[in-house]
């Protein structure tokens, strides 16, 4: 039986229990700002690292060894599911798709069978990581939220105006619904396989959720997240929903069946929590670019985030988006130290 990390600071914060200090980890903490990651990547390409449980586990624990973060996040990528569905994706380092989803016919050609089986190296990496973490640090498993993954499949990579995905929603809703249903089902199987392998928490990344007006947000973003989160409830692990650019959608987000809401840096935590209400923990939300401004700015901005939460239970310190590859190591250290030392003033 996998060990339980219910008593760790991170899991207790997810459950909004009062704590002696605020836990911290940072999105994309396993990655290119770390010299030990770049060294490993010089020998193995990105997909090989993702597909080899021992290598993925090694990268997962690198930031824990260096900084002692309060949670580890599995080394993987939100777009691996697209490969399991039969799409050809390369990382260069940004994702490049060989073909795009343009119609209902394209959706019906996706290989929907055995998604979790084709990604079995991911639960393999969960088990290998948990072994290296020795029951001392909780491990977060994750997937892309269906809408964000759909944007990549329809745009074929990154995008400036997201015209292809929006046109699909507006002019071919049957294709959009079929694509989101396929991704929702695949994500349920895939995230479930990570929970079964022992992930202590599950996170959905919805980086592109902020693109849509309320009607489409409700249908194409919130609907699928609601279904995935409901299906994960049986694992009894905290579910974290991160989205970006969604300050205007927080009321709708507060109705999702998740335990933690990941916030971007565009809103202060206090105002966000006033909207989210007392039953949700929050994770965030320092601007990742702050880490490029020197240790003094890092300390000042980190305290600002902590003060905005004002000691309310249920805050996990994080950045408002992924750490940048050029973040200096001493600034990350200043951040970790500041959060560790901070106590709310009575
Ligand atoms: O440390 C961690 O957070 C775990 C690993 C992780 C990666 N990607 C590794 C990675 C996680 C959680 C992700 C999530 C992810 N992937 C998101 C959502 C979060 C976000 O940042 O918005 C998105 C949109 C992707 C898609 C993706 N994968 C992009 C846009 C890129 C290229 C540029 C970039 O941001 O790094 C990737 C490749 C990728 N995923 C790398 C890493 C470490 C770089 C590959 C390399 O080593 O060259």
CA 16, CA 9: separation in Å to the nearest integer?
10
Residue 346 forms part of a structural domain: no
Q: Is 245 exposed, middle or buried (0-12, 13-18, 19+ CB in 10 A)?
A: middle
Nearest CA to ligand 1 atom 18: 205
Q: How many domains are contained in the chain?
A: 1
- Catalytic, 340? Answer no
Question: Which residues constitute the domain of residue 155?
Answer: 3-341
- Domain assignment present for 242: yes
Instruction: For residue 148, tell me if it sits in a domain.
Output: yes
Q: For residue 119, what is the domain's CATH number?
A: 3.20.20.210
Distance 77 CA to ligand 1 centre (A): 6
226 is an active site residue: no
Residue 51, in any domain of the structure: yes
Catalytic residue among 12, 16, 37, 41: 41
* pLDDT 10s digits, 97-125: 999 999 999 999 999 999 999 999 999 99
pLDDT 10s digit of each residue in the chain, 346 long? 456 799 999 999 999 999 999 999 999 999 999 999 999 999 999 999 999 999 999 999 999 999 999 999 999 999 999 999 999 999 998 999 999 999 999 999 999 999 999 999 999 999 999 999 999 999 999 999 999 999 999 999 999 999 999 999 999 999 999 999 999 999 999 999 999 999 999 999 999 999 999 999 999 999 999 999 999 999 999 999 999 999 999 999 999 999 999 999 999 999 999 999 999 999 999 999 999 999 999 999 999 999 999 999 999 999 999 999 999 999 999 999 999 999 877 5
DSSP letter, residue 266: T
**Quick check: is 127 catalytic?**
no
Tell me the CA–centroid distance for residue 28 and ligand 1, in Å. 7
Residue 338: C-alpha distances to residues 19, 230, 341 (Å): 16, 36, 5
DSSP string, 220-239: IIIHHHHHHHHHHGGG---E
Its pTM surpasses 0.95: yes
Whether residue 210 is contained in a domain is answered as: yes
């Amino acid at each position: 039986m996998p060990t339980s990390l219910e008593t760790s600071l991170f899991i207790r914060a997810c459950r909004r229990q009062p704590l002696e200090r605020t836990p911290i980890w940072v999105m994309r903490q396993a990655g290119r700002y770390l010299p030990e990651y770049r060294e490993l990547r010089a020998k193995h390409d990105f997909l090989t690292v993702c597909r080899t449980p021992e290598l993925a586990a090694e990268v997962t624990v690198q930031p824990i060894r260096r900084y002692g973060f309060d949670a580890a996040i599995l080394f993987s990528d939100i777009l691996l599911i697209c490969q399991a569905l039969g799409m050809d994706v390369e990382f260069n380092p940004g994702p490049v798709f060989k073909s795009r989803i343009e119609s209902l016919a394209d959706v019906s050609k996706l290989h929907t069978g055995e998604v979790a089986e084709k990604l079995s190296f991911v639960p393999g990496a969960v088990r290998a990581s948990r072994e290296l973490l020795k029951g001392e640090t909780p491990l977060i498993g994750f997937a892309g939220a269906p809408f964000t993954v759909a944007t990549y499949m329809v745009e074929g990579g990154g995008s400036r105006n997201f015209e292809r995905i929006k046109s699909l929603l507006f002019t071919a809703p049957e294709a959009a619904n079929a694509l989101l249903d396929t991704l929702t089902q695949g994500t349920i199987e895939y995230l479930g396989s990570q929970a079964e392998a022992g992930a202590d928490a599950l996170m959905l990344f919805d980086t592109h959720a902020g693109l849509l007006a309320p009607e489409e947000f409700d249908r194409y973003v919130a609907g699928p997240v609601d279904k995935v989160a409901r299906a994960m409830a049986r694992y009894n692990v905290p579910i974290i929903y991160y989205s970006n650019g969604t300050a205007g959608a927080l009321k709708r987000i507060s109705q999702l069946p998740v335990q933690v809401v990941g916030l971007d840096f565009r809103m202060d935590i206090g105002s966000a929590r006033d909207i989210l209400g007392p039953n949700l923990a929050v994770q965030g939300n320092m601007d990742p670019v702050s880490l490029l401004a020197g240790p003094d700015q890092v300390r000042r901005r980190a305290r600002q985030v902590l003060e905005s939460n004002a000691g309310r239970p249920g805050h996990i310190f994080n950045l408002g988006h992924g750490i940048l590859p050029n973040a200096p190591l001493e600034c990350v250290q200043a951040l970790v130290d500041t959060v560790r030392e901070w106590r709310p003033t009575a």
